[in-house]
Amino acid sequence: MMTSDEGVVGKVGRVTGTIAPKKVGEVMIAIRGGSEAFAAYATARDQTIERGERVVVIEYHPPRTVFVSQV
């Protein structure tokens, strides 16, 4: 089980499901030698981040939600 101090904040991931206003997206992040999917929201609420774009994790909310910004 991952805790908030395991270093998710600051990690770079790739968008696998478009993040848009009022829509949850999906981000894959490298964790523990593999990659894991997280539900993702943009830190700028009016921003759309398309599939394939790189993002950095700004906030982590257990168990599997992140707030991200474009790299």
pLDDT in tens, 31-71: 989 999 999 999 999 999 999 999 999 999 999 999 999 99
pTM for the structure as a whole:
0.88
Q: Which domains does the chain have, with CATH numbers?
A: 4-70 (2.40.50.140)
Separation between Cα atoms, residue 7 and residue 24, nearest integer Å: 22
Q: What is the pLDDT of residue 7?
A: 85
Burial class (CB in 10 A: 0-12, 13-18, 19+), 62: exposed
Token output for 59 = 């906030």
- Mean pLDDT confidence for 13-35: 96
pLDDT at position 1 over 70: no
Q: What is the pLDDT of residue 32?
A: 85
Separation between Cα atoms, residue 30 and residue 58, nearest integer Å: 15
